[in-house]
A and B are shown apart, each in its own frame.
Chain A
Amino acid sequence: MTVPAELLADLCAALDPARVHREPTEIALYARDASLTRAGGPVAVCFPVDTAEVAACVRVARSHRCAFVARGAGTGLAGGAVPVEGAVVIVLTKMDRIRSIDVARCVAWVEPGVLNLDLNRAVAPHGLRFAPDPSSQQACSIGGNVANNSGGPHCLAEGVTSAHVLAMEVVLPTGEVTVLGGLDPDPAGFDLRGSFVGSEGTLGIATAVAVRLLPLPPCVRTVLATFGDVASAANAVSAVIAEGLVPAALEMLAGPMIGAVEDFVHAGFPREAGAVLLAEVDGMPAATAEAVEVLLRVCGEHGASSVTVATTEEQRALWWKGRKSAFGAVARIAPNYYLHDTVVPRSKLAGVLEQVDAIAAAHGLQVLHVFHAGDGNLHPLLVFDARTPGVLERVHAAGDEIVAVSLAAGGVLSGEHGIGLEKRNHMASMFSPTDLDAQARLRDAFDPDGLANPTKILPAGSRCGDLQQVPPGVWV
């Protein structure tokens, strides 16, 4: 690729040249994220340290009619941070300051490069927490959480990221710096904050985020229930919700995933179980005690082989480590995995899981289940070795069928990982051309020139004059 010298010169003038990188290894590294998607390569990788530098990067890119792509920790699983060929990648990891924590008002202003877990560690001594807790929270950044509207186990009761973002300082795709939303409850005008969260860097770049913090609950009880088969566990999940109980978290691991996690972290899950349900309830003592009783009774009624309440914080932490290490544990089974994160109505969980298993078997693939059962958010991991000839095509075909059965059950395409590049061609199975046109209008209003992370979310042809091509060599 010929590197436009003037673009590079302008970027080096806008930032310290030491923070404009274009070594081949870095170009290769920043051409991908944690998904399977591989693309060509960015023209440069910039590391701004403040809002003014982000805005400068955007303005330089614009002046050269060059696409720009914001990037956090790169843990995304849908290719949202994979740049189009020749884009300027703007990495936000050097903007990692917590600007302020207002304990009395339960608000913190944080920069996008702050890691999710670091934010939680910083506010915990004040008796506060940031509710979204993706399993990758040790590595993923708040900016990425905002871009993907990320979830996590504890979003069952508290809602995903959008419910916890009050305001954002952003660099718009036009290069303007402004604030969307506000600390006041009803900022005047359209909910631009709500539109921006989950837009995967296509509506601009957040350079500071005002997050809502919740008080740590006075009482937390965690229950581990084991079942002989997945269907019984899934039915127990549905029955818990039908009781009018919304636990803080309700997570499931099934089949061979349990053994993989045991080998990896020795969480104390019984290897012989068909499914393990990890349920947590929190709040005031009497309500929590009552909720534990409901969990014990409902799991018993649905044939649980064992139900254990954590008696120590160590035991609880170990169970959660088991749950949150599951994706890492998969590496012990096969070098690659691919997953969808469709959501289905909770009452359809058992049936859809059975269909997913049948789909994987029909394609000769192994599927592992670890997922947010309480909100019906599946994460079927198709595990494979990408060096096997023809396996990617089978994985791709199985993935398509998993999406189809999820949508047929009344579900949606993505619960928390986003659409990015990998899922964008499925958007037309959930939305009509008119629906997609409305989404494209929103995007165009923010980004009239189509330079902010082009080709993501919306399939080609969602709007008139959609000439953005998927990068060559991309597997989507």
Chain B
Amino acid sequence: MNRTLEDFAHAVGPEGPVTVVGGRTRWEVGGPLQPGVREVRAPSGVVTHEPSEMTVRAGAGTTVADLHAVLGAVGQTTILPEQAGSTIGGVLAVGHSGIERLGWGPVRDAVLEVRLVNADGELVKGGGPTVKNVSGYDLPRLFVGSLGLLGLLGEVVLRTRPLPRCRRWYHAPGARPASLRAALYRPLSLLWDGTDCWVQLEGHPDDVEAQVATAGAVLVPVPGPPPLPPQRWSIDPASVEAALTGPPEGEVCVAEYGVGVLHRHQAPPPVVPDPAVGRLHQRLRAAFDPTGRFSPGRSVLP
């Protein structure tokens, strides 16, 4: 599937209910679609990669794994999380960051430019291709996490970053996450299940060793993070301790400490937005998709 943006816009067209499909790895987010919605796929493949600019332009239908394979060949990567089959467009539309968010920041910060198809079937550009840009409104950020309800992503420019020289996971049985957070300089990840911590560090090998030596807890090298339950809660990071103190009987819950993501088996409660925010959402939907043709049935708010 290597179509052009114009082909993609043509496939979306100006009318009829339509949705864009990526790897279907997070297809349930936002609720089920109404029946009879036409499915389209975004172009795939890396369009241009300028290693010395540390940016990459790629079709939204490109899998993150394929993107990272191309970038990895020259020692670069992106902060987009990799999950079997997931596409750039899907990851951005859902907007969930990976477990490196504590160190690398949220995925929304990686997007420099978007090319999308609007509800009239026309191509729209937002943002720009350089690493720094404040020309006009920040459409790229509006589209990250929008579940394709305002327009369908066809192509994006992403910021890349150097692959770390060394990147290691450690298990810290019984360690206090607050102490580890205070002792470590900008860890990539700090996970806590209420009892144990897991830490991911990156950088110069000497620095990683030095951090391990001064962490104030025993850090045991491990191949990777613990298994993460499938549901995802977003809470104030200040509430993580309370959330994991006296957890539900027998439920495994892993927190991204310092970030506020909880990985649990239980689904998160619906969030009721402030009425003013709810009205803003309605006006945005009406402005970008007046007939409600994009992914009918799905919603970013309850």
Q: Mark A174-197, 1 if CB is under 8 A from B, else 0.
A: 101111101111111111101101
Complex Cα gap A375–B132 (Å): 7
Complex Cα gap A435–B127 (Å): 10
How many of chain B's residues touch chain A, expressed as a range?
35 or more
Question: How many A-B contacts are there with CB distance less than 8 Å?
Answer: 243
Chain A positions 142-172 with a Cβ under 8 Å from a chain B Cβ: 148-149, 151, 155, 159-160, 162-163, 172
Question: Are B50 and A345 in contact, with the CB atoms below 8 A?
Answer: yes
| Cβ contact of B137, chosen from A180, A246, A411, A457, cutoff 8 A | A457
| Cβ contact of B150, chosen from A187, A190, A375, cutoff 8 A | A190
- Known contacts A190-B146, A194-B141; decide if A185 and B106 are in contact (CB<8 Å): yes
Question: Are A411 and B206 in contact, with the CB atoms below 8 A?
Answer: no
Complex Cα gap A194–B151 (Å): 17
B173 to chain A, nearest CB (A): 23
Q: Is B222 an interface residue, CB under 8 A from the partner?
A: no
A251 to chain B, nearest CB (A): 13
Residues on A with C-beta less than 8 A from B237 are: 105, 183-185
Which B residues are within 8 Å of any A CB, using their own CB? Answer: 50-54, 75-76, 95-97, 101, 105-106, 108-109, 118, 122-126, 128-139, 141-142, 144-146, 150-151, 161-162, 178, 181-182, 185-186, 203-207, 210-211, 232, 234-238, 256, 258-261, 271, 273-274, 276-277, 279-281, 283-284, 286-288, 300-302
Interface stretch of the complex, out of A6-14, A22-30, A282-290, A385-393: A282-290
Complex Cα gap A178–B277 (Å): 7
- Max count, chain B CB within 10 A of own CB: residue among A104, A214, A441, A458: A441
Q: Which 8 A-B pairs have the closest CB atoms?
A: A194-B141, A284-B207, A412-B128, A286-B206, A242-B52, A244-B162, A176-B276, A441-B287
Residues on B with C-beta less than 8 A from A149 are: 134, 138
A78 to chain B, nearest CB (A): 10
Q: B239's closest neighbor in chain A, by CB?
A: A184
A-B contacts besides A188-B271, A427-B136, 16 pairs, CB < 8 Å: A155-B132, A180-B277, A185-B106, A188-B273, A190-B145, A192-B277, A284-B207, A285-B206, A287-B207, A345-B50, A375-B131, A416-B132, A431-B125, A438-B139, A446-B280, A448-B283
Q: Mark A402-423, 1 if CB is under 8 A from B, else 0.
A: 0000000011111111110000
Question: Are A172 and B211 in contact, with the CB atoms below 8 A?
Answer: no
Q: Is A313 an interface residue, CB under 8 A from the partner?
A: no
B6 to chain A, nearest CB (A): 13
Residues on A with C-beta less than 8 A from B130 are: 343-345, 375-376, 410-412, 415
26 examples of A-B residue contacts, CB within 8 angstroms: A149-B138, A185-B101, A186-B96, A188-B300, A190-B300, A191-B145, A192-B280, A197-B138, A198-B134, A198-B138, A283-B203, A285-B206, A285-B210, A290-B204, A343-B132, A345-B50, A375-B132, A411-B128, A417-B134, A434-B124, A438-B139, A439-B136, A439-B137, A442-B137, A445-B283, A445-B286
Q: Is A139 an interface residue, CB under 8 A from the partner?
A: no
| Cβ contact of A345, chosen from B53, B146, B258, B286, cutoff 8 A | B53
| Cβ contact of A434, chosen from B122, B141, B281, B302, cutoff 8 A | B122
Q: B274's closest neighbor in chain A, by CB?
A: A178
Chain A positions 416-457 with a Cβ under 8 Å from a chain B Cβ: 416-419, 427, 430-432, 434-436, 438-439, 441-446, 448, 457
Complex Cα gap A105–B177 (Å): 12
A268 to chain B, nearest CB (A): 28
Residues on A with C-beta less than 8 A from B139 are: 438-439, 442
What is the size, in residues, of chain A's interface with B at 8 Å between Cβ atoms?
A: 88
- Known contacts A159-B109, A287-B203, A457-B137; decide if A188 and B162 are in contact (CB<8 Å): no
Complex Cα gap A411–B280 (Å): 32
Residues on A with C-beta less than 8 A from B207 are: 283-287
Question: Are A172 and B280 in contact, with the CB atoms below 8 A?
Answer: yes
